Amino acid sequence: VLSDYYLEGKVCIPFVRKIKQHFPDLPVIVLSGSLGEESVVEVMRAGVQDFVLKNSLTRLYPAVEREVKEYY
């Protein structure tokens, strides 16, 4: 799952928790324009495998590739 940090003006944490509740092994990667240290911790505690800053999108493909390999 690829998710922006903000979904419809709200943070993605409840969305991520719901995904993990129903599909605990499904990898989730969050994209963000900027993510502070506290937000990173909160996202990781919710079960996100990785996050990618939008100004570093070159990291997106390797992150997706790694999570797909680990999932399958």
Question: Which pTM was predicted?
Answer: 0.90
Tens digits of residue pLDDT in 40-63: 899 999 999 999 999 999 999 999
Q: Any idea what DSSP says for residue 46?
A: H
Strands (E), 1-72: 2-4, 6-7, 10-11, 29-32, 50-53
Phi/psi for 4 (5° steps) reads: -75, 155
Tens digits of residue pLDDT in 21-30: 999 999 999 9
